Amino acid sequence: MTNLLITGLKDQCGSKIKALASNYAQYNFIFMEVDTLDIRNHQSEADFIALNNINVIISCPAQTNVDKAETH
C-alpha cells in the first residue's frame, strides 16, 4: 500500500484532501499539522518519513489571509 503524508491538515487544500480520502482506499493517508509534525525541523521530518515508510508527500500548508501573508 502507498503511504501518503499530507501536511497542512487544517488548511483549505489539506482539509479538502481529507474529505476525499475515503474514496481512495488503496492509499494510506497520514494527515499531519504543524503541532504534530513540524516540517521545518528536517531531522524530525526525516525520522517520521522513515518510521512510517512514506512514499509520497503532499505539502498543503497555506496562508489564505492575504494581509497576514504579507506581514508574515
Confidence at residue 4, expressed as pLDDT on a 0 to 100 scale: 97
Q: In sequence order, which residues have a C-beta less than 8 Å from that of residue 50 and are 6 or more positions away? A: none
Give the residue-averaged pLDDT of 44-68: 87
**CATH assignment, 2-71:** 3.40.50
pTM of the predicted protein model:
0.79
**Local confidence band at 68 (pLDDT 50, 70, 90 cut-offs):** confident
Confidence at residue 22, expressed as pLDDT on a 0 to 100 scale: 96
Residue scoring higher pLDDT (49 or 9)? 49
Q: Strands 56-59 and 27-32: what pairing?
A: unpaired
Q: In sequence order, which residues have a C-beta less than 8 Å from that of residue 1 and are 6 or more positions away? A: 26, 27, 28
